[in-house]
Chains A and B, each alone.
Chain A
Amino acid sequence: MTQQSIDRREYNITAYTENQVGLLNRIAIIFSRRKINIESLNTSPSEVEGIHRFNIVVVETEEVVRKIARQIEKQVEVLKVYFNPNEDVIWQEMALYKVPTDVIAERALVERLLREHGARAVVIRKDYTVFETTGHREETDKLLTVLQPYGLIEFVRSARIAIIKNSQGFHHQLREFERIEPSHEVSENDYLNSRDKVFTM
């Protein structure tokens, strides 16, 4: 194995952007032209009105992720980009499981398993029941394995969402950007400020 492949690990890229048609494509191209697979991608409104937040998960080296983060931040409609390894973020994924209701009803063991995994019934119908659970990949995977013998009909997992542990929220920085505009446009220069902690808050 090369050093590069050893150094690859999961990174969470967080991008704050304008809510603009076509921006998703502009960001996706940055990955695809380098032949980097996106493991997970979620977009949603952020804590700041009118600003969207992308959570993107890739498995890459820090050097590659840093370059990608900078390329994303360079896009006109992107305000700020951070990247963090898993230990620097709190992250969750949601999973939905559809199982035949008769199996659940008849076999108490399943009920207990669901409780053990913190699952919650979302829909209970005569023919099927849908459970949901949230957690890390291993946790939702474990429930999937457990349910498979009991006639699992369908399974789906959401993209990852992540909160950066060491962060005061983006609105402080945005307020700072806005305070100085428009006469003096300021680029917040994390990179030159602390080169070892590039793009962290």
Chain B
Amino acid sequence: MYLNSQPQPAPTSAETAVATAESITRTLSGAEATLHALLAEGVDTVFGYPGGAIIPIYDALYDFKEQLNHVLVRHEQGGIHAAQGYARSSGKVGVVFATSGPGATNLVTGLADALIDSTPLVCITGQVFAHLLGTDAFQETDIINITTPITKWNHQVTDASEIPEALAKAFYIARSGRPGPVLIDITKNAQMQKADFAPYQPCTHIRSYRPRPLVRSEYVAQAAALINQAKRPLVLWGQGVLLGQAEQEFKQFIEKSGIPAAWTILGAGALPTGHPLNVGMLGMHGNYGPNVLTNECDVLIAIGMRFDDRVTGRLDKYARQAQVIHLDIDPTEIDKNVKANVPVWGDCKETLPLLTELLEARTYPEWRQRFQDHDAEEIAAVIQDELFPTSDELTMGEVIQQLNELTQGEAIIVTDVGQHQMVACRYAKLNHTRSNITSGGLGTMGFALPAAIGAKYGAPERTVVAVIGDGGIQMTIQELGTIMQTGVNVKILLLNNQFLGMVRQWQELFHDRRYSFVDIASPDYVTVASGYSIAGLRVDSRPDLQAALREMLEHPGSFLLEVMVTRENNIFPMVPQGCGVGEIRLK
């Protein structure tokens, strides 16, 4: 039996404060100081994989088993994606341990993913002895320089005495302002070295880092004036609303202003899917109405989103008619892709209430009717056939639709990358914030299985369903071993179309159906799962689908449900690359 480390509830801040207060100046090894720092920062779960250069930290961890839950993954990439899932579901900082050299380089994909998706992480890597740095020592890589462009901040520690300050800065930087990944590389001698440590001091200020901008009320007033005179305003919201924990403030803003609001895939869930002012998903495979009407609105209010090219399509054809108001905490996002007429630089938890206060309550019935008319068009052309197909073969959309009926929007949906991702994001019902965990900016295949493990640790009370394609699961399938060993309860919904479906769709539409290396063979997933002591089932017919989904959800532990779906189904609507959002195709 491997059911020995179920997710534990996080320690309360009071417990953490006691732990901090009880820490008196004492002699510790650098490794012990590292773990004390993590506890003082409120860390309850660490994902990692040991190796030679991080053995001292793992040795110290042996005595911290009761306080720090360590999840042994099967690959460092799995470890960092799990930490991302944990951070995204809990709102806390995800923590990863890896050794030097290959251990550290295996974090690279996850770091890039976390940076582009603004996920707060602290990665702690072991490094060779300081006297060996730069000598091509065994398992030495220059991980600081390798990860410089994909971390918010990184730092190498070569002396034990530096550890508390470095970790305090790391946590502060990772979670404040626009969150992001931080890497601390600790040489082996620094981990082993004994030093006198004063009580841990969390970091609250760095001279050269100012994460909380001062909000300029004159720009809030200008934004309000623009909104109050608008005839056809449209709100686009992104993950900034979730990261700023401003869901309530956002809802109040939307409900008072009466403005229809559309979301980026990382913003999904901040406003429930069923909310009457939620008009759907933006971007390449988003909904028809919000894409088309982006090019017809008179005032565009972007909140905590970064005008990614998957959202905007061609910039020279994007919302040229609109006055743009951009609310963002990161000044580099303002004017980066779309010029803002009124920039509101600040934390949206702070700026949104100021804006709401100045708004007139409105309803825009005719304008909202336009969205409903486009919805009707999209339902007739795409959605009806996708969710309620008449052919014999199962569609990805109907699987998500059936899942919605059973979960009633209460589950966390973790998706991989590809067609199933777009289908899940488009059709999953989400009642709560932090319910949609996906690799948005980097589009990392192999993300979902480990991220779902981490998401369950971050939100143990919630049902976590990983929706994965047959391509993505084979990229990090070894993490089934992590599920086996920890007993973590993750539902794996594998949508198998026997293709690398999104690439195949592009090859069909833009490369004359030249299906170059997208026909991917699969193992017998149910047998593979069984080998890891994970229950599983495979369905390929409609009458069996709902019962199978129910069995998956009701199963007391992890479960892999493989659903065979139609092979050559395309995801529509679609804004073809090089086109404007107004040129979105329904077929």
Residues of A with Cβ closer than 8 Å to B?
17-18, 21-22, 25-26, 29, 33, 66-67, 70-71, 73-74, 76-79, 177-178, 181-182, 185-189, 191-193
Interface bin, chain B: 20 to 34
4 shortest interchain CB distances as A-B pairs = A182-B205, A187-B210, A187-B213, A76-B153
Asked whether A78 lies within 8 Å of B208 as measured between CB atoms, the reply is yes
26 interchain pairs, CB-CB under 8 A = A22-B145, A22-B148, A22-B154, A26-B148, A67-B332, A74-B330, A74-B331, A76-B152, A76-B153, A76-B173, A76-B206, A76-B208, A76-B209, A77-B208, A78-B208, A79-B208, A181-B207, A185-B210, A185-B211, A185-B212, A187-B210, A189-B213, A189-B214, A189-B216, A191-B343, A193-B216
Instruction: Give the residues in chain B near A189, CB-CB below 8 Å.
Output: 213-214, 216, 331, 345
Complex Cα–Cα for A74 and B144 (A): 18
Of all chain A residues, the one with the shortest Cβ separation from B334 is A191
Given the complex, which residues of A lie within 8 Å of B145, measured CB to CB? 22, 25
With a cutoff of 8 Å between Cβ atoms, the chain A residues found around residue B206 in the complex are 76
Complex Cα spacing A74 to B149, Å? 13
CA distance A70 to B330 in the complex (A): 10
Inter-chain CA distance A40–B152, complex, in Å, is 26
Smallest Cβ distance from A58 to chain B, in angstroms? Answer: 17
In the assembled complex, B514 has its CB within 8 A of some CB on chain A: no
How far, in whole Å, are A193 and B204 apart by their CA atoms in the complex? 26
CB of B26 within 8 Å of the partner chain: no
Q: State the CA gap A57–B148 with chains docked (Å).
A: 22
A33 to B214 alpha-carbon distance, docked (Å): 30
Taking a contact as CB atoms under 8 Å apart, the answer to whether B207 and A70 are in contact is no
20 more contacts with CB within 8 A, not counting A177-B210, A192-B345, are: A21-B156, A26-B148, A29-B149, A67-B332, A73-B331, A76-B208, A77-B153, A77-B209, A78-B208, A79-B208, A177-B207, A181-B207, A182-B205, A186-B214, A187-B211, A187-B212, A187-B214, A189-B345, A191-B345, A192-B343
In the complex, which residues of chain A have a beta carbon less than 8 angstroms from the beta carbon of B216?
Answer: 189, 192-193
- Report the nearest B residue to A22, measured CB to CB: B144
Instruction: Confirm or deny: B219 has a beta carbon within 8 angstroms of a beta carbon on chain A.
Output: yes
Residue B513 at the A interface, CB < 8 A?
Answer: no
B370 at the interface (CB under 8 A from A): no
Closest chain-B Cβ to A144's Cβ sits at a distance in Å of 36
Whether, in the assembled complex, B555 has its beta carbon less than 8 Å from a beta carbon of chain A, the answer is no
Q: Which residues of A contact B156 (CB under 8 A)?
A: 21
Q: Which A residue sits closest to B178, measured CB to CB? A: A74
The closest CB in chain A to the CB of B345 belongs to A192
If A186-B214, A192-B343 touch, does A18 touch B332 (CB 8 Å cutoff)? no
The complex places the Cα of A25 from the Cα of B219 at a distance, in Å, of 36
**Cα A6 to Cα B204 with chains together (Å):** 46
Residues of B near A22 (CB, < 8 A) are 144-145, 148, 154
Contact of A181 among B173, B205, B211 (CB under 8 A): B205
Name the B residues within 8 Å of A77 (CB-CB): 153, 208-209
- In the complex formed, the residue of A with least CB distance to B213 is A187
Contacts of A25 in B (CB 8 A): 145, 148
Report if B231 contacts A (CB, 8 A): no
Task: Answer whether residue B336 sits at the interface, using C-beta atoms and an 8 A cutoff.
Answer: yes
- Bound together, the chains give a CA A79 to CA B207 distance in angstroms of 7
Contacts A17-B208, A79-B207, A192-B345 given; indicate if A70 touches B173 (C-beta within 8 A): no
- Proximity bits, B139-172, A CB within 8 Å = 1, else 0: 0000011001100111010000000000000000
